[in-house]
Structures are given as structure tokens and as C-alpha cells.
Structure 1
Amino acid sequence: MTSYGTRYEDHGGLLTRVVDRTGCVHATLSWRGDQLSALEVPGAVVRGEQLVDSLLGPAHAIEHAGERVTNMSAIDWARPTQIPVIAAPMRIPAGAAAPIMNVIALLAARTGVPALRYAGSYPTHALWRTLLRSFQSTATEVQFTADALGRATRVARDEIAIDFVPAPHERVAIDRGHAELRDGIERVVINGISYVPDGSAARLVSDGSEHRAEVWFADTRHAHVATLAPDGVLLEGPHPLRAYASDVIGRAFPPALRAALAELVSEAVPQLLAPAARIIVTARPIRWADLGARAATYDDGGFAVHAALWDRIAPLGLARLALALAEALAPVVAAAITAEWQLMSV
């Protein structure tokens, strides 16, 4: 047993299942000798058999619902020493990449690997955040992503000189989601939404004795979703989010406003992405919407921003509203740009 009751089952010294204290199975590994046959996590299966990928070379297939969705670079599963490269991360079902990385961190920790490095083309901000859920590093996000565009352009496979020390989290299933714990609760996922301490809209608020998953816009709490004890036990909720009504829902941002926001967003994203951010925010439609626990989203129809930002912040002044919109859009714009770059390189 571990700090929060997770059970690690093994056979012949090889990890076979990760089961939390509620009995929920978070990972299943099957082996042929010391070679991985398959890793199953919620939403995805990684095949241990190696194939040849045109960009990655030796690789493992990642499947969803019986269909291959992308590949990842081959690793030594019995004793991982490198963080794998995923050819098309955007094709993996939402929420499946993090448990794969957590299993890799767990396998490395169990076999005494002191640190792993990433040797791939996509040192993105999203990957950095995913890795920090299962590893620790003394480096910064800026250092990790410094040459992201250059590496993607040349399909780089040399190691980035940044160590990631295995520090896997424990997952505890709760109604409609799970909690991630290391030294206490670090993240709560409910209905696919991650609540974290520094969240923009979906926020994890702690007072020491309990942790509350809440939705915030500006300095105002919009909704209380759930309350958890420090060990991840669900004390209250999850409560459904009520539909949000506003006169601005469905209205599009005029071109002049998009152009002004483009400058602010370009200052809020990493410098590498700034030129592309100006272009995409100016060119793509932006509309007001009811986005539940999300401040902003992006799809084929363009960007959407939660109407609560208008209702809560516009009365405080348009300058403050513009800054809030840029803050909400920046991570979504960065993710959209990164996804398009990755698609072009696949």
C-alpha cells in the first residue's frame, strides 16, 4: 500500500496492475517475458510490439476503441530511461496521455532510474504541464519549450538537456472523475475538467482542511462543484453546473476587437508563438458562449469565450475586460497553434 491506498500488483517483479483504494483499475500491463505486450489506461491502449514509424523509427501503436490513432517512440518498458515522443498528441483521447506518462514514471521509479529526458520534436507547453504531473524538474517551462518550433521543423530527436525525476502521482476515483495526489491533492478532474490551484476558471481552492473544486471568473466565484478531504475522499458533490443565461451568448466579436485582442494575446503567449497568435486571433471568429467550467475553447468554428466574463468584468471597465479576455484566450490559442504545427509535421 502507498500513502493513499494505491495497490501495485506485479508478477515476477513486473508491474501488472495499478488499483486505487476504491478498487478502480487505472492501468493494466501485460508482458511477454520482460517485454511489454500491452498497456491499458482509460481511453487508450499502447501496444508493446514495435513497428516502424516514418518519423519516429521504432515505435509503439496507441489505440482507441480498437483503432490505431497514433504512434509513440519505442522505449524499454521494463526500465524506462527516456520520455517517449507521441507522433500526434492531439489524436489521443482527452485524458489518456497523462496516465500513460504516469505509468512510465512509476516504472522508472520502481527500477531506480534517477531521471529521464525528452528526445522529441514537440517540447510544448502542454507536454511540460503533463510531465510535471508525474515527474519533477529543476528547469523551467521557458527552458523546455525554448526551441519548440525549431525542433518541430527539423523533426529533432536529440535529447533536451533537462532531467525529469520520476515522481508519479496516485489516482483515486471519485464520482465522475478522479483526484491526483502526491503530497496532498494536486488536481481534481470532474467530467473531463481539471481543477488545479492556479486554474483560470476551473480552480482548486484549499483551506488546509478541505479542497473545493470551483469555477471562478475574475475575482468572483461562479459555481461550487465539489468538496474533497485532503486524502481525496469526496465530501460533497459533484454538483452539475447550471446553464448560464446572458444576452451576449452567440454574438460574434467584431474584427476591430479581434485585432486589439490579437496584440494582447500575443503578449500573453510564449514569445515563440506570438507571431502566429496575432494571425490566428485576428483571422478566426470569436463568439460569446456558455462554456460551463471553461473560460475559453477552440474548435473548427473558431474561438469561444464564456459570457460570464462580459457580465462580470465589463462593468469594471473595458480595459480590464480586454486583459481578462486575453488571459482566457492565451492558453487556448497556444494549444491551437501547437496542434496545427504538429499536424503539419505528421
Structure 2
Amino acid sequence: MKIFDRLGNPVSELAWAGDGSLESARVRLPDGSWLSVEPRATTAPPWGLSDRLWRAERFPEPGGWAGERLTVFEALDWARIDRIPSLAEPARLPPGGGTAVLNLIAELAREQGAARLAYRGPYPTEQLFLALLESFRYEPADAQDPLAAFMAGELVWTPAPHERLFGAEGLYVQRRGRVEKVVFRGAAYYRPDWQSVARHAPKRVRDVSEGVLCSLWALGRPLEDHLLLSPAGDLLRVLEPAAAEGLARPIAPDIRAGVAAAVAAGSGAPLAPAIEDVARAIALEWGAVTRDLILVERDRIRVSESFRRALAETLAAAGGRGPRATAALTAVVELAGLLGDELRARAQARLAALPPEAQARALDALGTPPPADGRHARAIADAIEALLSDVGA
């Protein structure tokens, strides 16, 4: 069974056995490649009977599987989906892979009449929570802190799959009554609002009178527009911003330390020291960045000059010390959002490279509350002062 989008492009393909069980499936990813599902592929740990994910260019031919083995997840009865399965190694999936599989699960579950599904696996992470928001709606909808409720196992999920469109020039669009997510030239743009959840969306999807814009967004305003779509998700125009300009210049060490402290304060206790360590090894600078807010390299991270200019304008318009300090704090928080994934990934890699006994000591801190010595707060306060001096002078 092949499924196509309204433009006639293949989106997914499923093969069912005579007894009604799933023989194989594949789903198309935003970059045009395919993720294949091999049901009942193994009985190895950690879950026993498991389905396997492959990355492949073509649908598997009879008698074998082609492509790259990625990871496994709890085996599903695909004809009677009753839960959201646990995935062994999420980091091995290509961009958009987890969302594509979850959307397939949501589509089939809705067709089968499954009203609510639960996730009871060992990894109720923020990353999984955000991925689920793209294909399900959580209940209770009035949860005060939906992420905390998810991590505590208190949410169930109603299937609400999105429409997937593969458009001109490699454009990929997700819609549920409105355009919610766009991928173009490897960059993913998101709505900031998902049910009651406010998502950090520096690459943002927003409605305007002409249609739907995909923009760089920071400090409460658009900095650069990249795409104009119709409300139905059709590409109307690729917008080419002015060439990025500005000489690279270092960002003050106090700003870097404060941003790292903000990332560490919002991360798990085992990661916090490693985050601050890896941040000290990175040169942070302002400078020209093309079609993005940051440029990540091995030993440095460049923050777009457009962010700096926007902050300078915000500080100039702020009246008095209090509003200026508030604007600088907002900038520290947004910089932490921009750099956080990279710093956490490097910190995780550093922990993974430690000897087993050192890893065990770090993991013993899991669940430990943030340090109460005020160190992170002082670092953030110093970063505010440094930003006011550097940008607001």
C-alpha cells in the first residue's frame, strides 16, 4: 500500500501479510531519503521482541533488507497499536526520523480507532515530548506543566497525525489545519505554540497577510525572512536576505560563562559540570552568519551579528537600568537556547568517553537538584553586566 501527498509524491509504503501483520514499512524523511521498519527483527535486549529501523533509499526487496541498520524499538502489533514504543538509540536516527515513524504510528492508530496511547518507556525526555507534539495531542490538555507530567508518566496521547508534503526545490511541510513545520535546505522551522506548550523556535513559522513566513526570530521579533508559503503549504517564494556582513569579534568570557551557566542550570545534574567545561574550550564570537543565528565549528561558535544588532537596538530603546537588564537577561536565555543542544551534546560525548566508574559517579548525581550556592545565578548576573557593557555601550 503506497501513500502519496496531494502533490503526488510518495510519503510512505506498507506491506501487509496475509494474516494481517505488517511485513515491512517505510516512511520518507524531509531530506528525501527513507526510513524502513523491519517488524519482529530481533529478540535481543533490551526489550526482547523488537522492530528494527533501517535507513534506505529504496523499499526492501523480497529476501533481504538494504541500507544502514540504525536501532531497534519495542515490537508493535501494527494492526492493533496500543502504545507508543520505546526506542533504544534515538541519537542514531537522522533528522526527522523519529517524527516520521511517530506520525505513521499516529495515522494507523487513528484508523484503528485507538483513542489514547501511553508512553511507559524509560526515556521520557524533552526531545521525545517535542516529537510527540507533532503527531499527537496530550491529555489532560489543561496540565499545568505538560513536560513534567510527561516525565512523571501522567500524560496520555490522542493520535493527531499531520499531513506531510514534499514540495518544489526540496521543500518539506507539515500541516494540521495550518502549516506547523517546514524544512528547507536542511533548516527546520517550527511554530512556537503547540497546544499550551511554548517551543523555543529561533527558526520560526508565522502567519502574515501574504501567507506563511519562515524566518529567523530572536528577542521577540523577526530578524530575517527566508521563505514565503501559501497557507496550504505551497512554496511561493524563496527569500534571499542581504549578504551577512560584519567582522568576527570575540564575545566576552563572562558572557560565555553566563550562557553556559544558563544551559547547565536547565540540564540534568550529571551534565552540568561537563557543560561548563566544554564551554570553556570553545571560542564564542560575534560575526557574519548566513541564513542562521549561529555557526558551529569544532573550536568556536559564532553568533550572528544580526542578533547583536537586534540586542543593541532593544537596549537603546529600553528606558532605565531595569528594562535594560531585563533585555540583557532575555538575551542570555535566548543564547542558551541557541547553544544548548550543542553544549549538551559535547558534554554527553565527554561523559561517554569517561571510564565506567567515572560515568557511574556522574550518573549517581541524576535527580540531584541544582547547586544552591548561587554560582550559576552569579555567572548569569555577570553575563548581563558584560552584555550591557559590550552591546549596550
TM, length-normalised to structure 1: 0.78
Deviation at 1:202, TM superposition (A): 1.2
- C-alpha distance in 2 between matches for 1:35 and 1:336: 43
Identify the residue that residue 173 of structure 1 maps to in structure 2.
166
The answer to whether residue 108 in structure 2 is matched with residue 107 in structure 1 is yes
Q: How many residues align?
A: 311
The answer to whether residue 30 in structure 2 is matched with residue 45 in structure 1 is no
- Cα 1:182–1:329 change in 2 (3 A) is same
Deviation at 1:292, TM superposition (A): 4.0
- C-alpha distance in 2 between matches for 1:191 and 1:278: 35
For residue 52 of structure 1, what is the amino acid of its counterpart? T
- Cα 1:23–1:203 change in 2 (3 A) is same
Whether the 8 Å CA contact 2:293–2:304 is kept in 1: the answer is: yes
| Cα-Cα RMSD | 3.0
- C-alpha distance in 2 between matches for 1:299 and 1:55: 35
- Cα 1:56–1:264 change in 2 (3 A) is same
Deviation at 1:341, TM superposition (A): 5.7
- The within-5 A match list for 1:308-319 is 308-314=306-312, 316-317=314-315, 319=325
The answer to whether residue 60 in structure 2 is matched with residue 63 in structure 1 is no
List per-residue Cα deviations over 1:258-314 (Å, max 9, x = no partner). Answer: 2222333345x3xx5367346404532153365544434767546553342223314
- C-alpha distance in 1 between matches for 2:114 and 2:346: 31
Identify the residue that residue 143 of structure 1 maps to in structure 2.
149
Whether the 8 Å CA contact 1:200–1:295 is kept in 2: the answer is: no
Identity %: 26
SS in 2 for 1:143: helix
SS in 2 for 1:237: strand
Q: Which moved more, 1:171-180 or 1:95-104?
A: 171-180
Deviation at 1:161, TM superposition (A): 3.8
- C-alpha distance in 1 between matches for 2:300 and 2:44: 32
Deviation at 1:325, TM superposition (A): 3.9
Whether the 8 Å CA contact 1:35–1:48 is kept in 2: the answer is: no
Whether the 8 Å CA contact 1:211–1:228 is kept in 2: the answer is: yes
Identify the residue that residue 214 of structure 1 maps to in structure 2.
215
Identify the residue that residue 258 of structure 1 maps to in structure 2.
256
Whether the 8 Å CA contact 1:184–1:230 is kept in 2: the answer is: yes
The equivalent position to 1:35 in structure 2, one of 11, 18, 21, is: 21
List per-residue Cα deviations over 1:80-110 (Å, max 9, x = no partner). Answer: 1111211111111111211111010000000
Identify the residue that residue 77 of structure 2 maps to in structure 1.
76
The answer to whether residue 239 in structure 2 is matched with residue 239 in structure 1 is yes
Identify the residue that residue 156 of structure 1 maps to in structure 2.
none
- C-alpha distance in 1 between matches for 2:44 and 2:297: 28
Identify the residue that residue 335 of structure 2 maps to in structure 1.
328
Deviation at 1:57, TM superposition (A): 2.3
The answer to whether residue 181 in structure 2 is matched with residue 187 in structure 1 is yes
Q: Which moved more, 1:200-209 or 1:44-53?
A: 200-209
The equivalent position to 1:283 in structure 2, one of 278, 286, 290, is: 278
Q: Which moved more, 1:68-77 or 1:56-65?
A: 56-65
- Cα 1:286–1:308 change in 2 (3 A) is farther
TM, length-normalised to structure 2: 0.69
- Cα 1:185–1:88 change in 2 (3 A) is same
Whether the 8 Å CA contact 1:179–1:189 is kept in 2: the answer is: yes
Deviation at 1:226, TM superposition (A): 1.9
Higher strand proportion, which one? 1
List per-residue Cα deviations over 1:113-136 (Å, max 9, x = no partner). Answer: 111111222211111111111101
Deviation at 1:60, TM superposition (A): 1.4
Larger radius of gyration: 2
Deviation at 1:220, TM superposition (A): 4.5
- C-alpha distance in 2 between matches for 1:46 and 1:307: 43
- C-alpha distance in 1 between matches for 2:177 and 2:53: 31
- C-alpha distance in 1 between matches for 2:277 and 2:229: 41
Q: Which moved more, 1:170-179 or 1:297-306?
A: 297-306
List per-residue Cα deviations over 1:66-86 (Å, max 9, x = no partner). Answer: 010211121111121111211
- C-alpha distance in 2 between matches for 1:290 and 1:17: 45
SS in 2 for 1:142: helix
Identify the residue that residue 196 of structure 1 maps to in structure 2.
190
- C-alpha distance in 1 between matches for 2:345 and 2:117: 23
Query: Unpaired segments of 5 or more residues in structure 1?
Result: 1-15, 147-159
- C-alpha distance in 1 between matches for 2:295 and 2:42: 35
Whether the 8 Å CA contact 1:210–1:227 is kept in 2: the answer is: yes
Identify the residue that residue 116 of structure 1 maps to in structure 2.
117
Whether the 8 Å CA contact 1:296–1:329 is kept in 2: the answer is: no
Deviation at 1:239, TM superposition (A): 3.1
- C-alpha distance in 1 between matches for 2:23 and 2:297: 36
